Every structure is written in C-alpha cells, then in structure tokens.
A and B are shown apart, each in its own frame.
Chain A
Amino acid sequence: MKAQLKELIESLVFVSLEPLSLDKIKEVLEEFPEEEVEDAFLGLVESYSSNQKGIQIIQSAGGYLFSTKPEYDIWIRRLLQIERKNKLSPAALETLAAVAYHQPITQAEISAIRGVDSSHTLRGLLQKRLIKIVGRKKSPGKPLIYRTSEKFLTYFGLNSLKDLPTKEELEKILEEEQTSEEE
C-alpha cells in the first residue's frame, strides 16, 4: 500500500493548481494513518529531488506544487509561444514591498512611505490579485486596508512572509551597503 500511497499523493499534487499543503493531503486521505501519509509524502518529495526528473516539487505559499526547472525556461516559452513574461514595474514592486512590510496598511500610508501617490499602482496590484483588501481602518474616513495575498507568495516563490528579511536584517543590509560603498 505504501508505494501506492506515494502514487496517490503524487496524483493529488498533480491535479492541484494551487500549492497543496500536507494538512490538506491528510484531510483528503482520511482513511490512511497520518504517519503513513507523511512518510509517503516525504518519500515522494525526495524522489523528485533527484536529478533525473524535469519536474520538481517545490514548496510555495505553505504548500507543495509541481514546477519545471528554471533552466528549461527558454524551450518552454518557445513551446507556449511566449516571448517574455510580463514583469512588474518598479513602482509596483516598491508598493508591494511597502505593503509586505507594513501590512495591514492604507493607501495614504503607502503613498507616504513611497513619497508618491500610489493609488494607481495599488489598483493594478489589486487587479493582479497580488494584494487584497482586508477591511477598513477605524480612523477618519475609514480608509481601506490592504494586505499581500497568497498569490503574492506564489508569485515570488515565497513559502511565507517570514522568507523575507526582517526589518532588523534589512537595516544590517543597508548598513553593510553603506560601509562597502565607503571603502
């Protein structure tokens, strides 16, 4: 059964369009003992980490999903007839960074941090579903408040927000940059 369990989990990951968490797998495979599911799952991930497969199982947004290897990108794009993938603009990246580090955050706060009006950029990010509205702030005008979405994590290949450097780490990076530039 164990070998089959591995195949079964493989099928589950395959059909999932979104990252599939181990908890979800356990939930679906309720009739199997949790430990066996876990073992089979680990075995599956391990077998995919070998060098003989073009497809990998990667961890993203707290779950697992199939992904191709980056080195085959050009041929995949050739097949799909995609010249270049659209990238986010510097303004969009900066806004996302502000949201990621200061969430929950309002539009006015984002604009203040960036020093430029960010309403347009924010709308674009909402449309791309990289950020989401989580409610309204209990302050004058009841402005909307924003957070990064799950798609934000998958888009940047992050497992969780903790994958981003902490504010303290950032300060260190900036300090190092400064000293190295002075040398």
Chain B
Amino acid sequence: METADCYQVKLDVFEGPLDLLLFLIKKKKIDIHDIPIAVITREYLKYLDRKDQINLDREGEFLLIAALLIHIKSQMLLPREKDSREDEDDPRRILIDSLIEHQKIKAVSGLLKDKEEEESQRWKRSFTPPLSSPEEVELAEVSLFDLAQSFFTLMKRREQENIKLIKEKEYSLDEKMKEILDELKAKDFLDFFVYFEQQESLEEALLAFFSILVLIKNRIVVAIQEHLFHTIKVWLRKEALETKRP
C-alpha cells in the first residue's frame, strides 16, 4: 500500500477516504450520525494545499465522499420542517446505506480472494496450458488482406521517417524473389515486419512485398501468424523445398 501517498486524517490513521469512514463506523469511534465533516474537510483541504502532486483516482474518490458529507452538513444547518419522510430523505441515510453495501461487497471480495487462492492450486484440464514446444504453436495461415494491411501499416510508419536517400539501384522482381528465397533457406523463416523494416527504400519494400505475394501465389512460401495481432512469419513450403522450383 502506498501509505505515504494516502491522505491521513488527524483523528486517527486511515488508509483511504472511503475506508476512513468505514473504519469510523465499524469502530464506532465516531457516531455516523455525528460525522465532524467540518474537521475532516478542513484537514483535507490543508492536506491538498501541501501537496504538489495528487493521485487523481484517490483524491477523486475522496472528493465524492467529501461532497456528500458537505451536502449532509448543509442540510443539517438549514432549518427543516419536520415531516414524516425524514428518514427516507435524510442524506445521511443514503450514505450509511451505501457504506453498508460497500462493506458487504468488501467482505465478499475477501471471500472470493480466498476461493481464488484455493482454486488456483487445483489444476483442471481446461486450465492447463499445453507443455509448450516451439513447433506446436497454433498456426493460422494469413489471408492476403492481413498481409496487405500489415504492409500498409508498415509503409505508413516509414512515410513519417522522411526518407532522403535516393538510390539508383535497379530492382527486379526475379532478383528480389531469389533474395527472399535465399534468405528463407538460410534462416528458416522471415519475420514480415522485421524484413520490411530492413528494406532501404519504399521502392524496394514494395518490390519485396510483391515478391512475397508472387511466392505465396505460386505456393512456394506460406505466410503464417502464430497469434492474433502478432507478427506474420513467412516460411518456405516443405513441398517447394523438395521439388526445387526455378
């Protein structure tokens, strides 16, 4: 717990704003019907003044409770006509109810935590991950659409790099295909993303992309995605290896 970050009420030491009130009620240190809102809010404002950094989540939560408390206080200060619906309308009633509800939820979440701990030590077939071996990952062959989309995102990224270098080198599709195949034979597979990052120019990257498309079309390589949203890998097809295409 980040106790150092927590707002400490002067009345006692507490963890958080909502917890503070819960604690007060539980311990009956302060009667819920007599919450010294002025004290709490004044102290809290002083505390905020002293701080140069605040935790929005925590302070936001406190603010909500504080606002409710101030609302109650204001209601108490105004002279009120006594009416029969007093109990229903009493804002304190609402606060107490929600606090009790919150206490219950806290109790249940503690219970669930224990159950979770207990259950996490029981292994069931559905929760047991398979013993992982690199070859047995679930592979999904990707569609042309996936490839194209990945390619365009990559190109978008590269556009921003502002390429200044202009090369006079001529590229040919055949050469590029041969280059890819050579690399595949040497390396087992190509990482689609990494490979395109390596291309020196947009032209070369485009050519590489077309080469891969041609290779896929001719069933020489296969593009596979191991997990959704992961990189796409290009593999040499085993059949193609055996028949050795030109």
A contact residues vs B (CB 8 Å cutoff): 14, 16-18, 58, 65-71, 73, 76, 79-80, 82, 85, 87-88, 90, 93-94, 96-98, 100-101, 112-116, 154-158, 164-165, 167, 170-171, 173-174, 177-178, 181-182
Contacts and interface: CB of A to CB of B under 8 A. Distances in A.
A69 B104 contact: no
Nearest to B64: A115
Given A115-B18, A182-B28, A76 B123 contact: yes
B57 A116 contact: yes
Chain A to chain B: the 7 pairs with minimum beta-carbon distance, closest first: A97-B108, A70-B121, A73-B121, A93-B109, A157-B119, A17-B126, A156-B115
B162 interface: no
23 contacts: A67-B124, A70-B121, A76-B123, A79-B131, A80-B131, A87-B113, A87-B116, A93-B116, A96-B112, A97-B106, A97-B108, A97-B109, A100-B112, A113-B98, A155-B119, A156-B115, A156-B116, A157-B119, A158-B115, A164-B111, A167-B104, A170-B107, A174-B100
A38 to B, nearest CB: 24
Given A113-B98, A156-B115, A90 B123 contact: no
B105 A66 contact: no
A66 B127 CA distance: 11
Interface string B11-36: 00000001000000011100000000
Contacts of B64: 115
B3 interface: no
A65 B125 CA distance: 8
Interface residues of B, number: 38
B120 interface: yes
- Dominant SS among interface residues on chain A: helix
Contact of A115 (B65, B113, B115, B117): B65
Interface of B: 18, 26-28, 57, 60-61, 64-65, 98, 100-109, 111-113, 115-126, 128-129, 131
B26 A181 contact: yes
B121 A97 contact: no
Given A94-B109, A115-B18, A156 B119 contact: yes
Contacts of A87: 113, 116-117, 120
B202 to A, nearest CB: 38
